[in-house]
Structure 1
């Protein structure tokens, strides 16, 4: 009887073991693919990196467990980026997203070394068999903010705290100015360059300098809420850039240009999961709901809010383009003829200020 009892225990143990092995194999067969994100700044910047991270989390949720995602923040645009990207590829990530222009050459190099991994580079232009590029039309958000600014300013002087003099940032400065001029032709824009994406101290100092020059509505193309905080302290106005920044200056915050990166991340990750991904250049904006004006503050009258929302609707349906002529360069020469719109190739290379922007563009 004892022998039979022992045999029974062995049989039970064998069945349990088989079941556990089956569960492990089952979980492996349905294991989520991995996607990794490389960030230039901290996820707590409340700007560029924060918006990407919000998009990452929303995409992961929307895909219902098909992907598990991870990220590495504060990665400098140096050889360190190449090391980080290579390590992520070695870890078996199916797709790697790098979210700053300065990662371009590193992404291109590592992509060639890992032909079975998909690489997606934000704001770049180099492509390959397994390397695609993507961006959002931040200039559309800047144009809508300009419409609010042009109707809010009392001094007719706007200010921009700018990061680096690259086409992306120049486009945003120009679009902000053109949006403001569409409702207030007297507007002029002053710019201070801080040569950094994320440096709250420099951003604050630049904001204070612009305020001292009579700029009473500020926009930034940098990543921290320092400009909104400075505006709140000095009793002027500012905007959230890339995300809602209301909590950093409730009285100063007029509205925010909010980026919805999940509109890109979700379909890209889905195509990777479906093995249907192909290299392409994605540039989404208002029409794809990737850029929106949101979170209007109490200082914005209903009429002003509606004018910005009307512009958003017009961009969405294609009847408005922020860079439609006639548009003149700073020196008075014609940049875009009446009835014409600047195409994407020209937008991608923009290297001039429009009329109304003061100062010289750094080389």
Structure 2
């Protein structure tokens, strides 16, 4: 069941009926809508997007009115929700999950005067822009920590949906971890969901039972971090800082900071200067950040992680610079060569050190 959660919706009917009795306002607020794949209380992906929505309200005050719909499945439900936002006067709509791409594109065709932004996709139009963050940069930094602290040489990785974004993260982490400790192996478990605390916890338990002493995730709940804390192994938070869910286990987190982007794009939309395009930000733009490092980590590991962060931000280090081998041990990126963005965006193969096959 889709839950609409914003006073602009709950009061819509009442406001319409009473409009004739109210004095005319100088200008109606600019309406911005958001669609989330999970609940804003997931403490991860959707939570961070909603922090960006709140930043819009803080920046523009009563000049804007924001709305959000949470826990919207990817598919027909998404199309209905996006259409509802467009029909109800929202002039800028952010749809924040990969599976919303086709529904967003379809609705954008029907509402050419509305500006749409889709996170992590690649379909664009004159009124449809795309944006994403280079999460793989953070996973590369986390891999350095793992390479220093793993004692079993086994890392468990709870993966969501087998799209290039998730595969890139697995590979980036594995590459840096194995540069420190070539014996490390990474085993993903695919839960086929962005947010399913039960499956995430069960997967973490299974991976720990198989010997993993570090748990990574590309899923949105803190359940893996909580499980790692209970079982006494390391973990890395996803999308937001999850340290409070695992004070002892939480090495760091890969944090998405959408607020500056959302504020600027809203500013442009309100000023009439918004144009479609594509943004893929990383450490250099502040769209991706690392959380605080656990004080129990070795100082040398933290120093190396911070140095890698700074080098990536400065453009002197790229996580996917060769030599890189695939699972079969074949060199697929030559020494000194670097995968370009097109190759990263289409990544559908594992690097050496990852167990299992990429789901079809």
Q: Partners of 1:270 and 1:340 in 2: how far apart?
A: 39
CA displacement 1:92-146 (0-9 Å, x = unmatched): 1110000011111111111111111100011111111101111111111111111
| Residue matched to 2:322 | 325
- Tell me whether 1:284 sits opposite 2:281 in the alignment: yes
Indicate the structure (1 or 2) with the bigger Cα radius of gyration: 1
Q: CA deviation at 1:320?
A: 0.7
Partner of 1:303: 300
Contact 1:170 1:352 in 2 (8 A): yes
TM-score, normalisation: structure 2? 0.91
TM-score by length of 1: 0.90
Equivalents in 1 of 2:320, 2:227: separation in Å?
Answer: 30
Cα distance in 2 for partners of 1:237, 1:63 equals: 41
How far does the alpha carbon of each residue in 1:173-213 deviate from its partner, in whole angstroms, 9 at most, with x for none?
Answer: 00111121232222111111111111111111111111111
Counterpart selection for 1:351 from 348, 353, 357? 348
- 1:251–1:298 CA contact under 8 A, matched in 2: no
Aligned to 2:238: 241
Task: Give 1:32 deviation, angstroms.
Answer: 2.8
Question: 2:47 corresponds to which residue?
Answer: 50
> What stretches of structure 1 of length at least 5 have no aligned partner?
1-22
1:37 corresponds to: 34
Q: Distance in 1 between matches of 2:89 and 2:177?
A: 48
CA distance in 2, matches of 1:263, 1:333: 41
1:67 is aligned to 64
Could you say which residue in structure 1 is the equivalent of 2:266?
Answer: 269
Q: What SS does structure 2 have at the residue aligned with 1:353? A: coil
Q: CA deviation at 1:59?
A: 3.3
The Cα of 1:231 is off from its aligned counterpart by 0.6
Instruction: For residue 64 of structure 1, report the CA deviation from its aligned partner.
Output: 4.9
Task: Determine whether 1:102 maps to 2:107.
Answer: no
- Mapped to 1, the partners of 2:132 and 2:23 lie a distance apart of 40
Alignment partners' CA distance in 2, 1:187 and 1:301? 18
Aligned partner of 1:80 in structure 2 is 77
Q: How many residues align?
A: 340
CA RMSD of aligned residues (A): 1.5
Selected match of 1:211 from 208, 212, 226: 208
Write the distance in 2 (CA, Å) between the matches of 1:32 and 1:239: 40
Please give the secondary structure, in 1, of the residue aligned with 2:236: strand
Matches within 5 A, 1:105-124: 105-124=102-121
Classify the secondary structure of the residue corresponding to 1:132: strand
Moved more, 292-301 or 73-82: 292-301
Change (3 A) 1:155 1:108: same
The gaps in structure 2 that reach 5 residues or longer are 1-21
Tell me the SS of whatever aligns to 1:44. helix
Specify the alignment match of 1:255 in structure 2. 252
Equivalent-residue separation in structure 1 for 2:176 and 2:69 (angstroms): 36
The 5 A counterparts of 1:146-225 are: 146-225=143-222
* In 2, Cα distance between equivalents of 1:319 and 1:64: 40
